[in-house]
Amino acid sequence: MNSENKAVRVRFAPSPTGDLHVGNIRTALFDWAYARHTGGAFIFRIEDTDRERVTDEYIKAAQDTLKWLGLDWDEGPEVGGPYGPYLQSQRMRIYDDWASKFLEQGDAYHCYCSSEELEARREAQKAANIAPGYDGKCRSVSESDLARYKSENRLPVLRMRMPEGSTTFKDLIRGDVTFDHNFVPDFVLVRGDGSPLYTLAVAVDDIMMRITHVLRGEDLLSSTPRQIRVYQAMGVAESDYPAFAHLPFVMGQDNAKLSKRNGEVSIAWYRERGFLPEAICNYLALLGWAPGDDRENVTMKELTELFTVERVHSSPARFDMKKLEAINGDKIRELKIDEFLERVTPFLINDGIISGSSGELAIVKMALPIIQERIVNLAEVSQMLKFLFVAKFEVEADSLPKIMDEQSQVVLRASIQALETLSSWDHGSIHSVLRTALIEELALKPRIAFGAVRIAVTGSHISPPLFESMELLGRDRSLARIKKAIS
């Protein structure tokens, strides 16, 4: 029941009922990595049979997110492919045809039980301590009952008949898994209104799209016997079933499902905060998988080279923002300045720090080297470089008192005097002249003396390196700010 000799075809098939979240993306990443590792195809399919919850907007967002992360697909929306369409909502005819076939073959049957009736019987089962699930009532319906249902205008659902016995399949991560059919009730394939359910659509599509490997979330593990049942009804040979691999969950800090309470879920949120796609992928790759050696810094290329399903864990992993941040910081430090500039510019413009003129960008580019190792995400750049661009300079409220004391004022006056004599305005000269004037002549500790100048010039007690900052700010503005700070 495997497909060793066939070209690998892996699909990522989300049901976008919101922005793609961390768990979705970890699955997508593994799907993609496996396809790339094997030289197979990565297929992107949208499971939108539930149009009440899946919107066009979310579908569009899902595509953007995948593209942003660099998870390119070989078949799917936009690019098409030989087994399209790749939106389930456009494949209704196909599902209809199979559903009719299953009904004709006797694999499936119409069920007229109402939700209320089902609910009541489930309660009774629970009360009697019997495994809850459909009891098979409509497997055979008498003529008179049928007439009654029709007179009541009941719309039947289509149910798959689960035969006696059990289903065993090999999960690439967990080994053989067996489900006794006593605990896999007859399940619904088609709603009363005629629309197909996930249970029908996934199985049909995976077969028709020639999917060889299904890597998906662990939550779908127990639905696997139902998929296999559909394959059987479709007349698929066991050797043509896809291989399954159920990925462990990504959980929040408190061992519960990841949610806004214990870590942010939406990838869009991370993007806005200035996380790098390569950092997100690197971090997520390490959640449930490890290359086997001690490396933690993995590029997308290395991931595709090293990724195997066998090395995927079977146990769930907790999402750790701190580690993501650490990796993001590392990735930022690896950026070439031009690349760094390109990535950071949208944040600066969006925050209203710069308008994006070439003059501004030139200054930003000069400033980037001194802040590159000081930030954890791109969004922090605005705060770091604000002092270079503000039209109306003000010292931050919490820093202001720190330069009002007598000693600071002495420092500032001495600084002015020393700096005004300076012929060349570069950070080396600035540093040396201030050191002489403040550290040597006034006999002050560097952190005290330079601290006052820092606040006066940058407006904050935390800033990029002082002398480089002053060089970038320029002589006139630097001196003006120090003078202004002298009360």
Partner RNA sequence: GGCCCCGUCGUCUAGUGGCCUAGGACUCUGGCUUCUCAAGCCAGCUACGCGGGUUCGAAUCCCGUCGGGGCUACCA
Residues 166-195 that bind RNA (CB under 7 A): 174-175, 177-180, 183, 185, 188, 191-193
Of the residues 6, 333, 483, 484, which one makes contact with RNA according to CB under 7 A: 333
Q: CA 225 to CA 202: how far, in whole Å?
A: 13
Q: How far is the CB of 355 from RNA (least distance, A)?
A: 26
Question: Where in 347-376 is the site for RNA (CB under 7 A)?
Answer: 373-375
Q: Closest CB to RNA among 356 and 428?
A: 428
Question: Where in 295-314 is the site for RNA (CB under 7 A)?
Answer: 296, 311, 313-314
Q: Closest CB to RNA among 257 and 349?
A: 257
Question: Where in 189-248 is the site for RNA (CB under 7 A)?
Answer: 191-193, 197-199, 218-223, 248
Of the residues 53, 67, 150, 484, which one makes contact with RNA according to CB under 7 A: 53
Q: How far is the CB of 190 from RNA (least distance, A)?
A: 8
Q: CA 8 to CA 399: how far, in whole Å?
A: 61
Q: How far is the CB of 392 from RNA (least distance, A)?
A: 22
Q: Is 260 a catalytic residue?
A: yes
Q: How far is CA 321 from CA 25, 78, 292, in A?
A: 16, 33, 23
Q: Closest CB to RNA among 316 and 349?
A: 316
Of the residues 104, 294, 394, 398, which one makes contact with RNA according to CB under 7 A: 294
**Catalytic: which of 260, 323, 483, 484?**
260
Residue 96 dihedral angles phi and psi, to the nearest 5°: -55, -50
Q: CA 356 to CA 274: how far, in whole Å?
A: 18
Q: Closest CB to RNA among 29 and 235?
A: 29
Q: CA 32 to CA 15: how far, in whole Å?
A: 17
Q: Which residue, 37, 42, 61, 67, is CA-closest to 298?
A: 37
Q: How far is the CB of 457 from RNA (least distance, A)?
A: 10
Contact criterion met (CB below 8 Å) for 95 and 207: no
Q: How far is CA 448 from CA 374, 409, 442, 464, in A?
A: 21, 12, 11, 16
Question: Where in 373-432 is the site for RNA (CB under 7 A)?
Answer: 373-375, 431
Question: Where in 442-461 is the site for RNA (CB under 7 A)?
Answer: 446-447, 450-451, 454, 461
Vertex 246, ends 253 and 56: CA angle to 5°? 80
Q: 3-state class of 397 per DSSP? A: coil
- What sign does the CA torsion over 426, 428, 433, 439 have? positive
Question: Where in 112-151 is the site for RNA (CB under 7 A)?
Answer: 113-115, 118, 122, 126, 129, 131-134
Stretch that binds RNA, among 71-79, 348-356, 395-403, 465-473 (CB under 7 A): 465-473
Q: Closest CB to RNA among 155 and 337?
A: 155
Number of residues that bind RNA (CB under 7 A): 84
Q: Closest CB to RNA among 65 and 463?
A: 463
Q: CA 280 to CA 16: how far, in whole Å?
A: 20
Q: How far is the CB of 135 from RNA (least distance, A)?
A: 11
Using the structure block, give the residue that is written with the tokens 């907007």.
57
Question: Where in 262-291 is the site for RNA (CB under 7 A)?
Answer: 286-290
Beta-sheet pairing, 243-247 with 213-217: parallel
Q: How far is the CB of 58 from RNA (least distance, A)?
A: 12
**CA 419, chain centre distance (Å):** 50
Q: 3-state class of 408 per DSSP? A: helix
What residues pair up with 413 in beta bridges, in sequence order? none
Q: CA 346 to CA 378: how far, in whole Å?
A: 10
Q: Closest CB to RNA among 349 and 400?
A: 400
Question: Where in 63-92 is the site for RNA (CB under 7 A)?
Answer: none
Contact criterion met (CB below 8 Å) for 385 and 371: yes
Q: How far is the CB of 60 from RNA (least distance, A)?
A: 17
Q: Closest CB to RNA among 103 and 197?
A: 197
Q: Which residue, 454, 419, 424, is CA-closest to 437?
A: 419
Contact criterion met (CB below 8 Å) for 160 and 186: yes
Of the residues 7, 124, 155, 337, which one makes contact with RNA according to CB under 7 A: 155
Q: How far is the CB of 265 from RNA (least distance, A)?
A: 14
**Catalytic residue IDs:** 260
